[in-house]
Amino acid sequence: MPRVGSDRLIRAAGAAAVLVFFAFVAQFWHPVWGFTAFLQLDSSNDNLKIAAFKTQPVYVYQNTGGYDGLYYAQLAYHPALAAPEIRRALDNPIYRARRILPSALAWLLALGRPAWIVHVYSVLNIVAWLALAAIVWRLLPVRDLRSWLAWAGVLFSTGTLSSVRLALTDLVALAIVAGAMLAVERARSQTAAGLIAAAALARETSLLAIAGALRRPWLSRANLQRVAIAIVPLGVWLLYIRWLFGPGDPGWSNLTRPLAGVAGKLDADISAALHLGDRPIAWTTLAATLGLIVQTFYVATRPRIEDGWWRIGAVYAVLMLCLGKSVWEGFPGAATRVLLPMALAFNVLVVRDRAAVVWLLAGNLAVLNGYLVMRDVPRDTRELAAGHTGGAAVVVRTDARWFDVERGWRHATAWSSASSEVEIETWPHDERAIEIDGSVRSRQPLVLTVAQDHAVLWRNTILDRPVHFVLLCRMRNGHARLEFSVGTPGARSNAPDEDRAPLFAVEDVRFASPRLD
């Protein structure tokens, strides 16, 4: 393919891709929760989560099912593994503890401060994505449309974006592996081995990337030193884990006989594409699986043992053929993350080989699923307001008797029937006063009363135009409830939701620390 456009145009396309990524992740930002929605902490984990997750503002999903990021985030509070509560919080302490690097890094960057740790951990993958973007730009290097497509194929693949979306360890490991290969290309093999050792502490399969740092003769003392540098830190850490927890599952169940796992995945994906109700997720998952098969076929049909990138692609291709059902199952499945180093090696090889563009497009089919990974942004339909005041984070939520909060560009409105409550929570969970202001309106003349602990804070007649209110709310252990009731009978308060008519609305709620007279 001839070079398209100038260097300036290619750089602009790169900047545009970064802006697209920022647009993806910005949807998940919240003024109180930060990016903790990435952790996929579910309400079903409430009884097991560590104390810090009960006292710090962390987003909690309702009945969606948790995922692995919530374990690594909690591990960041106890990277030495000594605290008894961390053993209860992790589903498989021995397995999770092996991937300690991102958690330990979050603890270090947060200076061990509990209020910072969870937020630092939740953005680690964003930082890793940016680091990977810069490193791969140099590795390819990106100079034309072909190399830009390969660069974007790595960064927007479902494996890469899944690691961001679920706050996992895979992308951190990949960014370090990419840095190791950049060191190899600058003739710094010892540095590369050290970086691979670090990557292995983020994901143990990263050890396979040491194949890219070796040189002929293969059994030389220098190669043995590189292998030792890469293996020893993980080996020492595993011994420490065994000393603390005793023997555990080594993870061999994630492997199976060659081709069995991928064949089962292909069969499941085809069936899902034909029968699953969510056709986009089913078809793009099938595309992602086919993309991995294309990458493996490309590497297998172009052997070049002298090329470190080919060796990385080859060892991960062998790994792909042996992955078990548990790694493949799901939409799109963990395999797209486990095999990210193969995707990186494939794209570097295709660009440097000047191979036909069809290889580049077919091998990066996982990009089609990448968008869907970032598609489902959590929305709390009960959240009326959130922010900070007086050094505290504040969230105001309606109870189940309110209708879903209607949110527009400028207004957040919640309608209620005759009686209902608003729940207020602050972090830290201390004693303080919060000034709440907003407006209320109704569809017919009503007398609205707002009380706390049955003590009236505000009462007024409301009409169809907004009436402003200001309340002084007392927080106890970071919690408070405001009771809303009307003086004119409306729908029965104990009637089903569909039988209740909305009588009044609260909107544009804000809060501040009380003014001192």
For residues 426, 430, 432, 437, the Cα torsion angle rounded to the nearest 10 degrees is: 10
Tens digits of per-residue pLDDT, 60-80? 998 777 899 999 999 999 999
Tens digits of per-residue pLDDT, 228-276? 999 999 999 999 999 999 987 776 678 999 999 999 999 999 999 999 8
Domains and CATH numbers, the chain: 7-373 (no CATH), 383-512 (2.60.120.260)
Mean pLDDT lowest among 163-172, 177-186, 194-203, 441-450: 441-450
Buried-state track 203-214, b at ≥16 Cβ within 10 A, e below 16: bbbbbbbbbbbb
**pLDDT class for 514, splitting at 50, 70, 90?**
confident
Q: Is the pLDDT assigned to residue 388 strictly greater than 80?
A: yes
**pLDDT class for 500, splitting at 50, 70, 90?**
low
Tens digits of per-residue pLDDT, 427-438? 999 999 999 999
Tens digits of per-residue pLDDT, 110-143? 999 999 999 999 999 999 999 999 999 999 999 9
pTM (two decimals): 0.93
pLDDT of residue 487: 77
Q: Is the pLDDT assigned to residue 498 strictly greater than 50?
A: no
Question: Strand, coil or helix: what is 466?
Answer: coil
Question: Strand, coil or helix: what is 411?
Answer: coil
Q: Is the pLDDT assigned to residue 492 strictly greater than 80?
A: no
pLDDT of residue 141: 95
* pLDDT-above-90 percentage for the chain: 84
Q: Is the pLDDT assigned to residue 497 strictly greater than 80?
A: no
Mean pLDDT score, 450-477: 94
The answer to whether 174 and 344 have CB atoms below 8 angstroms apart is yes
pLDDT of residue 45: 80
CA 97 to chain centre: 19
pLDDT of residue 180: 98
Q: What are phi and psi of 325, to 5 degrees?
A: -60, -40
* pLDDT-above-70 percentage for the chain: 95
Mean pLDDT of the chain: 93
